[in-house]
Amino acid sequence: MTSRACISRVLWSSFLFASTLAYAQAPPIRITADLTDAPRRLFHAEIDLPVQPGPVTLTEAAWIPGQHSQGFVENDIIGIVFSANGQTIPWLRDDVDLYEFHLTAPPGTTTLHAHVDYIANRKATPEFAVLEWEDLLLYPAGLPVRQIAIQPTVVAPKNWGIATSLRPISPYDPRHPAGGTVHYAATTVETLEDSPIMTGINYKEYPLNAAARGVAAPLGPGQQKPVYIDVFGDTPEDALLRPSVVADLEHLVTEAAAMYSSTHYESYHFLLTLTKFPPYGGLEHHESSDNSLPPVALTTNAALQVGGPVLAHEYTHSWNGKYRRPAGLATPNYTVPMRGDLLWVYEGLTDYLGNVLGARCGFMSGNDYRSYVASIAAELDNTSGRRWRSIEDTAVGISGYRGGSAWANWRRGADYYPEGDLVWLDVDTTLRKLTNDRKNLHDFLAIFVAGKGSTPPRIVPYTFDELVADLNQVAPYDWAKFFQERVYTVQPHVNVEGIEQGGWRLVYTDKPNEYEEAASSAFSHGLAGDNVWFSLGLKLNAQGEIGDVRVGSPADAARLVPGEKILAVNRTVYSSDVMKDAVHATKTGGAITLMVQNDLHVRSVAIDYHGGERYPHLERISGTPDYLDEVTKPLTPAPPAENQEPESRQ
Ligand SMILES: [Zn+2]
């Protein structure tokens, strides 16, 4: 069989070096992102690329930084038309590297034009749009992306505000958003990919430190480089943050300065949509983060303990992940596959630090933090897949991960995030123990993220050996063995050493875990089923559908199946409360018999369980140092009380 790719490979590879050399010395690519169709969930781009006549290979971004995996090819980038001097140019997609496009620039061509459309299903609403530039980017293949110059322009709908870390070169006032066309300073493809645009009609920008407020020097730690939060909402009210939340965010900036003793941005923008419409989460960048949360996440104090640390996590990535990056993730362009073996540092350490900062700045109390730690420790201890694969394997495997709830506990998912919380709590408390509390994780961070002081945005890669060497500078120890045992070896039980060195132990009681209740109400709109994971071994939704069955649990012994639906509990029609009452009664002799539907079949299932309700908590180990309390104490004063409304803390 003749492979179209083989032919094209031979044809194009011989020309690649010559054509990319021309790019390196050419004027910038110009890209105009037209977001005026965002309410219809379409983005458009006009791209002008300087080229020489002859073969040209352009590429989409395949491996997306921060996603730790490939984007979905041939999915949402559509409507591609190439032209030069007014003539349409035919193109050929590479049939091995599906992100690449081959074409021939006719004689006399100096500029190749590309028109691109993007289906922005999950990134645009009638009220706002989020552009990650890889959604519209086509650029020369084969070059380091930091060597490709590009000058961006954004066209937003009338009266929409625009927030980004890009530097505008045409007049733009975030306090009086007008929409329309804004030109930004020329940069590189690497920086553009790292600088998303958020735009919307319901917009408010809040300065979070002295530099952002324009206060003259001298400025204290965390105050020199301006930091803002740019909020976009479904409604004008959604874009208004409570004064206490703004105060917590200001406190986050000073706490991060105390923790990291450096900055690696010229300015920083928390870009945030507060919307009723998922997906929720965050994507990190050097000088900004693209965050999405439900409005309730910042409007009630209970939900703030879940939503707030998302912002602290993404902010932390400016230091850990963007500036310091595992060598396997620091690729020269977005075609080279990323290797995720050190994601337990990139994401795991960030998760630990983000939650610690969340406690220090006021998003969560010390009790909230312990409730969170109990929740993840119990969840991980009850993840049966830990019996066959290591934490490191969950990191390596993530680039090929395709999720789903059925038997998720036996497969494991992105466990290197919460496992990282516990591994790095272990490192922190071990450093405190080894040095009689004279040193802790701050001393490691002073080397790891601040060893060369503050810098503009740049990537400084590291290896496992360098990580170990930095820790040995703080306190000599066999850190390589420490991580080998905890991260690289299959461990049937969760690592609770950090919790116990911190003065607490994991226990189960019949009192619901507060963090899990807050997460359920904030992110599931209160529609989650009652938590019977640690008792029966079932993940349920409010309709009684079984998301997962914990391997080794009473539900597993009863041969229940993910995807089945519970119709009745002890002959009463299923509801979360009916199930909760039945589990409660097992402690005093109650039985649990379910009526279960599996596609066309209905059957009765008895679960042999007698332990009552079971939820995780941390319990103090008396007579030991309370390092967990120390870890969550703020290092800097909270902002002045006049900024906070009196009823904000419940
Ligand atoms: Zn992260």
Please tell me the distance between residue 467's alpha carbon and the centre of ligand 1 in angstroms. Answer: 19
- The SS3 call for residue 557 is helix
Distance in angstroms (rounded) separating the CA atoms of residues 61 and 163: 23
Average pLDDT over residues 432-448: 97
Cα 21 to middle of ligand 1, angstroms? 35
Structure tokens at 233: 């909402």
**If residue 251 lies in a helix (H) or strand (E), which one and from where to where?**
helix 243-260
- Band of residue 511 on the pLDDT scale cut at 50, 70, 90: very high
Confidence of residue 647 (pLDDT cuts 50, 70, 90): very low
Cβ-contact 269, 228 below 8 angstroms: yes
Kind and range of the H or E run holding 358: helix 348-361
pLDDT of residue 525: 59
Cα distance between residue 198 and residue 213, in whole Å: 21
- Whether the per-residue pLDDT at 7 is higher than 70: the answer is no
Cβ-proximal residues to 10 (8 Å cutoff; 6+ apart), any chain: none
Give me the pLDDT at residue 512, please. Answer: 95
pLDDT tops 80 at residue 9: no
The 3-state DSSP class for residue 128 equals: strand
CA of 174 to the centre of ligand 1 (A): 28
Between the CA of 256 and the centroid of ligand 1 the distance, in Å, is 16
317 C-alpha to ligand 1 centroid (Å): 7
Helix axes 416-434, 366-381, angle to 10 degrees: 120
Cα(211)–Cα(174) distance, rounded to whole angstroms?
16
Average pLDDT for residues 476-486, to the nearest whole number?
A: 98
Supply the pTM of this predicted model.
Answer: 0.93
Lowest mean pLDDT segment, chosen from 5-14, 39-48, 326-335, 342-351: 5-14
- Residue 390 CA to ligand 1 center (angstroms) comes to 20
Q: What whole-number distance in Å separates Cα of residue 54 and Cα of residue 604?
A: 71
Return left, alpha or beta for 404; rule: phi > 0 is left, psi -120 to 50 is alpha, else beta.
left
Interval between CA 95 and ligand 1 midpoint (Å): 33
Q: What is the pLDDT of residue 641?
A: 56
- Tell me the CA–centroid distance for residue 29 and ligand 1, in Å: 30
pLDDT of residue 122: 82
Q: Which two tokens stand for residue 523?
A: 């992110």
Q: At what angle do helices 441-448 and 464-474 cross, to 10 degrees?
A: 130
Confidence of residue 221 (pLDDT cuts 50, 70, 90): confident
Dist CA 457 CA 496 (whole Å): 36
- 245-254 pLDDT, tens digit per residue, is 999 999 999 9
CB 288 within 8 A of CB 251: no
CA 650/CA 643 separation, integer angstroms: 17
The amino acid that residue 235 corresponds to is T
What is the 170 CA–ligand 1 centroid distance (Å)?
33
How far, in Å, from the CA of 287 to the mean position of ligand 1? 14
What is the spatial distance between Cα 57 and Cα 49, in angstroms, rounded to a whole number?
12
Q: How far is the CA of 530 from the centre of ligand 1 (A)?
A: 28
Weakest-pLDDT range from 104-118, 293-307, 632-646: 632-646
Token pair, residue 101, equals 């496009």
pLDDT at 16 over 50: no
| pLDDT above 80 (res 572) | yes
What is the C-alpha to C-alpha distance for residues 345 and 421, in angstroms, rounded to an integer? Answer: 10
Q: Is the pLDDT of residue 22 over 60?
A: no
Q: SS3 for 142-207, per residue?
A: CCCHHHCEEEEEEEECCCCEEECCCCECCCCCCCCCCCEEEEECCEEHHHHHCCCEEEECCEEEEE
Residue 80's pLDDT band, with cuts at 50, 70 and 90, is very high
pLDDT of 13 above 70:
no
As a whole-number percent, the residues of the chain with pLDDT over 90 amount to 85
- pLDDT at residue 45, rounded to an integer: 98
Does the pLDDT value for residue 3 go beyond 90?
no
Q: 326 CA distance to ligand 1 centroid (A)?
A: 13
Give residue 527's pLDDT band: very low, low, confident or very high (50, 70, 90).
low
- Laid out side by side, the sheet with 601-607 consists of 572-573, 565-569, 592-598, 601-607
Q: Which helix (H) or strand (E) holds 549?
A: strand 546-549
Residues contacting residue 176 through CB under 8 Å, at least 6 positions apart: none
Task: Tell me: pLDDT of 120 over 70.
Answer: yes
In Å, how far are 32, 56, 101, 106, 113 from 89, measured between CA atoms? 20, 11, 12, 8, 10
pLDDT at 127 over 80: yes
The mean pLDDT of the chain is 92
Ligand 1 mean position to 350 CA, how many Å? 6
The predicted pLDDT at position 528 comes to 66
* C-alpha 284 to ligand 1 mean position (Å): 7
CA–centroid distance, residue 351 to ligand 1 (Å): 7
Q: Which one is predicted more confidently, 62 or 520? A: 62
Average pLDDT over residues 354-372: 97
pLDDT tens for 588-608 read 999 999 999 999 999 999 999
47-57: pLDDT as tens digits: 999 999 999 99
- Kindly report, residue by residue over 184-203, the tens digit of the pLDDT: 999 999 999 999 999 999 99
Q: What are phi and psi of 568, to 5 degrees?
A: -150, 150
pLDDT per position as a tens digit, 376-397: 999 999 999 999 999 999 999 9
Averaged over 275-293, what is the pLDDT? 95
Distance (angstroms) between ligand 1 centre and the Cα of 570 equals 43
How many whole angstroms from 354 Cα to the centroid of ligand 1? 9
Better-predicted residue by pLDDT, 222 or 17: 222
User: Ligand 1 centre and the CA of 292: distance in Å?
Assistant: 13
Helix (H, G, I), strand (E, B) or coil at 124: strand
Report the pLDDT value the prediction gives residue 530, as an integer from 0 to 100.
76
Check pLDDT > 90 for residue 523: no
Report residue 140 as tokens: 């020369």
